[in-house]
Structure 1
Amino acid sequence: MSGTFDDAGLELLSDSLRVVGRIGSTVVRRTGWWSPAVHDLLAHLERTGFAESVRFLGLDADGNEVLTWIEGVSGERAWAQVVPEAGLAEYARLIRRYHDAVQDYMPPADREWMTEAHGLRVGEIITHGDVGPWNTVWRDGRAVGLLDWDQAGPRPALHDIGYALEYAAPFRDDAFCLDHLAHPAPPDRGRRMRLFAAAYGLDSVDGLVDAVIAQQETTLANTLRLAARGLHPHAEWVAGGFAAAQQARIDWSRANRHLFA
């Protein structure tokens, strides 16, 4: 199978410049220096029976990776799935199931990750790294899939938790929540953070606001670094003003931490 844009039956999926498209029940995506590490991770998840990850099927004739397609609601439409409290709890449990699946995973020491230039350290797991609602797949209120593993890498589990909470608590002002995140009313952020933490299995929410801010800062630094290497779509994001927008989000999180008590 070839994954070029000239293929008959190729359906382009999104504006991500890393995505080639869908062919039937498979997704064809471009690869990078991090891809062998991700392929090892996906093989581990398949061996351990983590049903919600895509499966790596190999490389096509053009060197693109071929992955399984997970049917359901994802992308922009998945945002609304984490707004109800039942969906929020389901989202947290999905992330916990993934973290449990990689708790004992030891990747090959020579693998390179997209953003992490070190091996697995004490207290770290291989986090997903981009576990926003848009990378989840839903059917009938159940989280059945986790997509886009490019940013996986060795980090504390709190990185994924903070990343998810930024969008699920969420760490945005009321107007943005109503206009863009499918909230019918201003969210009770503290309640949502406590519900997420309990569903994930945390004993308290202590340190979670700081975890969100830390991953926001990490996201800014990593995006700038990848853009400087000419990686797409990061270079386009930075050219479009990402750095200033991300710093504004960090500043908002610091100034409004009282909303999450």
Structure 2
Amino acid sequence: MSGGNVSAGVVRVGDTVRRPSGPWTPAVHALLTHLYEVGYRAAPRPLGTDDQGREVLTFVPGDVVWPDRFALLDAERRLADVARLIRDFHEAVRGFTPPPDAQWQVLVPAEGGDIIAHQDLAPWNLVAGDEGQWAFIDWDTAGPGSRLWDVAYAMHGFVPLSAHPDWRRADAASRLRVFADAYGLDEAERRHTVPLLGRRTRAMHDFLRDRAAQGVQPWATLWAEGHGDAWRGDAEYIEQREDEWVRALLAG
């Protein structure tokens, strides 16, 4: 199965997905169970583990948005739908109390810690269903974080805020405003989010650089393929245009 950057060993069995488990799995399952119990349906439901020790999750029907179906998000109403889906998750997770022995797989340490965040809210983890049911997958790197850290990362991916000629958009600033409005950011949050956009993007470059230097897969391969350069280029593009993002988000 595809989606995210780590799909080795992930298989579909009937209406379930089986994937390798880790020390973080019980905490992630507790999170997903909470989301299901409070009515959030844009995430898979955990079903325990199988006889091979793999975690078992409900299968989310549809196609991963990135890259072949990314054009779905050209429509501002779809971009707004994604922002609201993220806001609904952040509202749903507020009442979650992690297990006392919770372990999390933290890849990129977050700034702030007001929630248990997804940490990878991106087009490669969004499944678009044929009947309008959209959901986020790959929750295995969820962990302590902040709403705005999650939002800044999501804005980079979904607007997108990219320097790459294939993805760079002339209307990035207006789309950033659409996302912020749909999510419901207030003025103080908008001001705080703008500098986070560059820092969160650059944190991905630094993560890949450091893991590649240690020879850790799949990050070393992604670094060798130029993903680090892409994240650095996007970070520079975002940082150079902070004034533009401020004007877009704070326009009357």
SS state of the match for residue 166, structure 2?
helix
Aligned to 2:83: 92
User: Following superposition of structure 1 onto structure 2, how do residues 7-156 of structure 1 map, counting pairs within 5 Å?
Assistant: 12-13=1-2, 16-76=6-66, 77-115=68-106, 124-139=114-129, 142-156=132-146
Q: Which amino acid aligns with 2:239?
A: R
In the TM superposition, what is the alpha-carbon distance from 1:16 to its structure 2 partner?
3.3
Please say if 1:212 is aligned against 2:202.
Answer: no
Aligned to 1:197: 180
| Distance (Å, rounded) in 1 between the aligned partners of 2:212 and 2:50 | 27
Q: Which amino acid aligns with 2:98?
A: P
Aligned to 1:247: 232
| Distance (Å, rounded) in 2 between the aligned partners of 1:117 and 1:195 | 27
Q: Are the equivalent residues in 1 in contact too, given 2:111–2:146 (CA < 8 A)? A: no
| Distance (Å, rounded) in 1 between the aligned partners of 2:171 and 2:156 | 14
Q: CA RMSD in A?
A: 2.8
Please say if 1:257 is aligned against 2:242.
Answer: yes
| Distance (Å, rounded) in 1 between the aligned partners of 2:112 and 2:97 | 11
| Distance (Å, rounded) in 1 between the aligned partners of 2:195 and 2:8 | 31
Q: Are the equivalent residues in 2 in contact too, given 1:18–1:233 (CA < 8 A)? A: no
**Residues 258 and 188 from structure 1, CA distance in 2 versus in 1: closer, same or farther, beyond 3 angstroms?**
farther
TM-score, structure 2 length as denominator? 0.83
Q: Which amino acid aligns with 1:160?
A: D
Deviations 1:88-114 (A, max 9, x none): 100000000100100121212432211
Identity score, percent: 34
Q: Are the equivalent residues in 1 in contact too, given 2:112–2:145 (CA < 8 A)? A: no
In the TM superposition, what is the alpha-carbon distance from 1:73 to its structure 2 partner?
3.0
Deviations 1:97-155 (A, max 9, x none): 1001001212124322111699x998510111111122122235845211110221111
| Distance (Å, rounded) in 2 between the aligned partners of 1:225 and 1:36 | 28
SS state of the match for residue 191, structure 2?
coil
Q: Which stretch of structure 1 is more off in the superposition, 152-161 or 129-138?
A: 129-138
TM-score, structure 1 length as denominator? 0.80
Q: Are the equivalent residues in 1 in contact too, given 2:112–2:146 (CA < 8 A)? A: no
Q: Are the equivalent residues in 2 in contact too, given 1:83–1:168 (CA < 8 A)? A: no
SS state of the match for residue 104, structure 1?
coil
| Distance (Å, rounded) in 2 between the aligned partners of 1:69 and 1:147 | 10
Q: Which stretch of structure 1 is more off in the superposition, 25-34 or 228-237?
A: 228-237
Aligned to 2:250: none
User: Following superposition of structure 1 onto structure 2, how do residues 157-236 of structure 1 map, counting pairs within 5 Å?
Assistant: 157-173=147-163, 175-177=165-167, 186-204=169-187, 205-224=190-209, 232-236=217-221
| Distance (Å, rounded) in 2 between the aligned partners of 1:141 and 1:91 | 15
Q: Are the equivalent residues in 2 in contact too, given 1:171–1:253 (CA < 8 A)? A: yes
In the TM superposition, what is the alpha-carbon distance from 1:31 to its structure 2 partner?
2.0
In the TM superposition, what is the alpha-carbon distance from 1:234 to its structure 2 partner?
2.1
